[in-house]
Amino acid sequence: MRSEVTALTVRELASDDLDAVAGIEQASNPNPWSRSLFEGELRMSPSERHWIVGLVDDAVVGFAGAMFVGEDVHVMNVAVDPAVRGRGYGRALLAELLMRCVAQGGRQATLEVRRGNMAAIALYRHFRLGPVGIRSRYYPDGEDALILWAHDIDSADYAAVLLRLGGRSGEAGD
Protein backbone atom coordinates (compact mmCIF):
# COMPACT_ATOMS: atom_id res chain seq x y z
CA MET A 1 0.00 0.00 0.00
CA ARG A 2 2.74 2.49 0.87
CA SER A 3 4.35 2.15 -2.57
CA GLU A 4 1.12 3.29 -4.23
CA VAL A 5 0.95 6.41 -2.04
CA THR A 6 4.45 7.47 -3.12
CA ALA A 7 3.07 7.98 -6.65
CA LEU A 8 0.86 10.77 -5.27
CA THR A 9 1.91 14.36 -5.97
CA VAL A 10 0.32 17.02 -3.77
CA ARG A 11 -0.05 20.69 -4.66
CA GLU A 12 -2.31 23.65 -4.03
CA LEU A 13 -5.76 23.57 -5.60
CA ALA A 14 -5.92 25.66 -8.80
CA SER A 15 -8.84 26.82 -10.90
CA ASP A 16 -7.88 24.30 -13.62
CA ASP A 17 -8.62 21.53 -11.07
CA LEU A 18 -12.21 22.55 -10.36
CA ASP A 19 -13.93 20.29 -12.90
CA ALA A 20 -12.06 17.22 -11.59
CA VAL A 21 -12.65 18.20 -7.97
CA ALA A 22 -16.37 18.78 -8.59
CA GLY A 23 -16.58 15.38 -10.31
CA ILE A 24 -14.92 13.60 -7.39
CA GLU A 25 -17.18 15.45 -4.98
CA GLN A 26 -20.27 14.45 -6.99
CA ALA A 27 -19.21 10.79 -6.93
CA SER A 28 -18.32 10.86 -3.23
CA ASN A 29 -21.08 12.66 -1.36
CA PRO A 30 -24.85 12.29 -1.23
CA ASN A 31 -25.11 16.09 -0.88
CA PRO A 32 -22.13 17.31 -2.91
CA TRP A 33 -20.68 20.76 -2.94
CA SER A 34 -21.21 22.58 -6.24
CA ARG A 35 -18.40 23.69 -8.49
CA SER A 36 -19.28 27.30 -7.64
CA LEU A 37 -18.71 26.60 -3.93
CA PHE A 38 -15.20 25.38 -4.72
CA GLU A 39 -14.66 28.47 -6.89
CA GLY A 40 -15.62 30.59 -3.89
CA GLU A 41 -13.12 28.73 -1.72
CA LEU A 42 -10.35 29.61 -4.17
CA ARG A 43 -11.21 33.29 -3.78
CA MET A 44 -10.73 33.12 0.00
CA SER A 45 -7.51 34.34 1.58
CA PRO A 46 -4.86 31.69 2.28
CA SER A 47 -5.00 32.87 5.90
CA GLU A 48 -8.63 31.68 5.98
CA ARG A 49 -8.61 28.57 3.77
CA HIS A 50 -6.18 25.93 2.57
CA TRP A 51 -6.98 23.51 -0.28
CA ILE A 52 -4.78 20.85 -1.86
CA VAL A 53 -5.17 18.26 -4.58
CA GLY A 54 -3.52 14.89 -5.03
CA LEU A 55 -2.45 13.82 -8.50
CA VAL A 56 -1.34 10.54 -10.00
CA ASP A 57 0.13 10.77 -13.50
CA ASP A 58 -1.08 14.41 -13.67
CA ALA A 59 -4.72 13.42 -13.01
CA VAL A 60 -6.51 14.72 -9.91
CA VAL A 61 -7.44 11.73 -7.75
CA GLY A 62 -8.44 13.54 -4.57
CA PHE A 63 -8.58 16.77 -2.65
CA ALA A 64 -8.74 18.14 0.88
CA GLY A 65 -9.54 21.53 2.33
CA ALA A 66 -9.63 23.31 5.65
CA MET A 67 -10.77 26.59 7.11
CA PHE A 68 -8.93 28.48 9.85
CA VAL A 69 -10.79 29.80 12.87
CA GLY A 70 -8.05 31.36 14.95
CA GLU A 71 -5.69 28.50 15.81
CA ASP A 72 -8.33 25.89 15.00
CA VAL A 73 -8.20 24.01 11.71
CA HIS A 74 -11.67 22.98 10.57
CA VAL A 75 -11.31 20.23 7.98
CA MET A 76 -14.16 20.92 5.60
CA ASN A 77 -13.79 18.26 2.94
CA VAL A 78 -11.63 15.28 2.03
CA ALA A 79 -12.49 13.09 -0.96
CA VAL A 80 -10.81 10.57 -3.22
CA ASP A 81 -12.03 9.35 -6.59
CA PRO A 82 -13.96 6.11 -5.94
CA ALA A 83 -11.93 4.36 -8.67
CA VAL A 84 -8.71 4.69 -6.63
CA ARG A 85 -9.91 4.41 -3.05
CA GLY A 86 -8.17 2.06 -0.68
CA ARG A 87 -4.67 3.04 -1.80
CA GLY A 88 -3.91 5.46 1.05
CA TYR A 89 -4.48 8.65 -0.93
CA GLY A 90 -7.05 10.05 1.50
CA ARG A 91 -4.72 9.40 4.42
CA ALA A 92 -1.82 11.06 2.61
CA LEU A 93 -3.92 14.07 1.62
CA LEU A 94 -5.22 14.62 5.16
CA ALA A 95 -1.71 14.26 6.62
CA GLU A 96 -0.35 16.77 4.14
CA LEU A 97 -3.23 19.18 4.69
CA LEU A 98 -2.75 19.12 8.46
CA MET A 99 1.03 19.58 8.15
CA ARG A 100 0.51 22.63 5.97
CA CYS A 101 -2.10 24.00 8.36
CA VAL A 102 0.25 23.55 11.32
CA ALA A 103 2.87 25.49 9.36
CA GLN A 104 0.29 28.31 9.14
CA GLY A 105 -0.28 28.31 12.92
CA GLY A 106 -2.90 25.61 13.43
CA ARG A 107 -2.93 24.09 16.92
CA GLN A 108 -6.16 22.03 17.00
CA ALA A 109 -8.12 20.24 14.30
CA THR A 110 -11.83 19.54 14.10
CA LEU A 111 -14.33 18.17 11.63
CA GLU A 112 -17.79 16.69 11.32
CA VAL A 113 -18.32 13.24 9.88
CA ARG A 114 -21.48 11.30 9.12
CA ARG A 115 -22.23 9.06 12.06
CA GLY A 116 -22.59 6.09 9.71
CA ASN A 117 -19.41 6.69 7.69
CA MET A 118 -17.33 4.00 9.36
CA ALA A 119 -14.49 4.14 6.81
CA ALA A 120 -13.97 7.87 7.40
CA ILE A 121 -14.25 7.47 11.18
CA ALA A 122 -11.59 4.75 11.08
CA LEU A 123 -9.34 7.01 9.01
CA TYR A 124 -9.78 9.92 11.40
CA ARG A 125 -8.89 7.75 14.40
CA HIS A 126 -5.41 7.34 12.91
CA PHE A 127 -5.12 11.12 13.16
CA ARG A 128 -6.15 11.04 16.84
CA LEU A 129 -9.39 12.83 16.00
CA GLY A 130 -11.75 11.76 18.76
CA PRO A 131 -15.49 12.32 19.25
CA VAL A 132 -16.54 15.18 21.50
CA GLY A 133 -20.20 15.50 20.55
CA ILE A 134 -22.98 15.03 18.04
CA ARG A 135 -24.67 17.51 15.73
CA SER A 136 -28.17 16.11 15.47
CA ARG A 137 -29.64 15.98 11.97
CA TYR A 138 -26.62 17.91 10.66
CA TYR A 139 -26.81 16.64 7.09
CA PRO A 140 -29.64 17.50 4.65
CA ASP A 141 -30.88 13.89 4.72
CA GLY A 142 -31.23 14.06 8.53
CA GLU A 143 -28.18 11.98 9.45
CA ASP A 144 -26.29 13.02 12.58
CA ALA A 145 -22.67 14.15 12.50
CA LEU A 146 -20.01 13.21 14.99
CA ILE A 147 -17.86 16.17 16.01
CA LEU A 148 -14.21 15.11 16.17
CA TRP A 149 -11.24 17.01 17.61
CA ALA A 150 -7.48 16.57 17.86
CA HIS A 151 -5.50 18.85 20.14
CA ASP A 152 -1.84 19.88 20.06
CA ILE A 153 -1.44 19.13 16.38
CA ASP A 154 1.53 21.49 16.46
CA SER A 155 3.49 19.20 18.81
CA ALA A 156 6.53 17.15 17.80
CA ASP A 157 4.63 13.99 18.75
CA TYR A 158 1.79 14.84 16.37
CA ALA A 159 4.24 15.80 13.61
CA ALA A 160 5.65 12.27 13.84
CA VAL A 161 2.11 10.88 13.48
CA LEU A 162 1.54 13.00 10.37
CA LEU A 163 4.82 11.91 8.80
CA ARG A 164 4.00 8.28 9.51
CA LEU A 165 0.57 8.71 7.91
CA GLY A 166 1.95 10.16 4.72
CA GLY A 167 2.63 13.88 5.16
CA ARG A 168 5.57 15.32 3.30
CA SER A 169 6.57 18.37 5.34
CA GLY A 170 5.02 20.76 2.82
CA GLU A 171 6.90 19.48 -0.22
CA ALA A 172 4.92 19.02 -3.42
CA GLY A 173 5.52 15.41 -4.35
CA ASP A 174 8.29 13.04 -3.30
User: How many Å apart are CA 10 and CA 167, to the nearest integer?
Assistant: 10
The catalytically annotated residue of 25, 41, 89, 124 is 124
The catalytically annotated residue of 112, 139, 143, 171 is 112
- 124 is a catalytic site residue: yes
Q: How many CB atoms sit inside 10 A of residue 80's CB?
A: 23
- Cα–Cα nearest to 74, from 101, 96, 92: 101
Q: List helix spans (H) across the chain.
A: 2-5, 18-28, 35-43, 89-103, 118-126, 156-165
Q: How many CB atoms sit inside 10 A of residue 46's CB?
A: 10
- 112 is a catalytic site residue: yes
User: How many Å apart are CA 60 and CA 28, to the nearest integer?
Assistant: 14
Contact (CB, 8 A) for 103 and 46: no
Work out the angle between the directed axes of helices 118-126 and 89-103 (0-180°, nearest 10): 50
- Beta pairing partners, 111: 148
- Catalytic residue numbers, as ranges: 112, 124
